[in-house]
Amino acid sequence: MRPRVTLITLGVDDLEAAVAFYRDGLGFPTEGIVGEELENGAVAFFDLQAGLKLALWPRTSLAADSRVQVTPRSPSDFMLAHNVRSAAEVDEVLSTAAAAGARITKPGEATNWGGYSGVFQDPDGHLWEVAYNPQILPQD
């Protein structure tokens, strides 16, 4: 399999609240919720970077489409990472996320791998690491 990840889908409990968090709180661009006329179709897409999108989809719809049971949330199963260009930018992003309603689980701090990172949870419990890694700087 050739790795071609183009879409990351997060299951959410309240689609409208999740869209507000990512769109209004974090400033992610989106056209809003689409597909509401379809059974299990309501979803929102966000442009992240060239060739990569984030989708928010109700957990019940994701489970139905995948033919699995809805299970309790488990934040320790998965984490997204957002790399930035400085330690100060880590703290800025964490502050923005907190103001949008995120829970900071780990404030920005120096890491044992020579960088600086912190972690927040979105309203549905998904973990996001915000990291400055001098070895892996963003391309833009």
Buried b (16+ CB within 10 A) or exposed e, 9-37: ebbbeebeebbebbbebbebebeebeeee
Q: What does the alpha-carbon distance between residue 112 and residue 92 come to, in Å, rounded to a whole number?
A: 21
Kindly indicate the confidence band of residue 26, based on its pLDDT and cuts at 50, 70 and 90. very high
The contacts of residue 78 (CB under 8 Å, 6+ apart) are: 126, 127
pLDDT in tens, 53-100: 999 999 999 999 999 999 999 988 899 999 999 999 999 999 999 999
Kindly indicate the confidence band of residue 2, based on its pLDDT and cuts at 50, 70 and 90. confident
What pTM value is reported for the model?
Answer: 0.91
Domains delineated in the chain: 7-66 (3.10.180.10), 75-132 (3.10.180.10)
The contacts of residue 67 (CB under 8 Å, 6+ apart) are: none
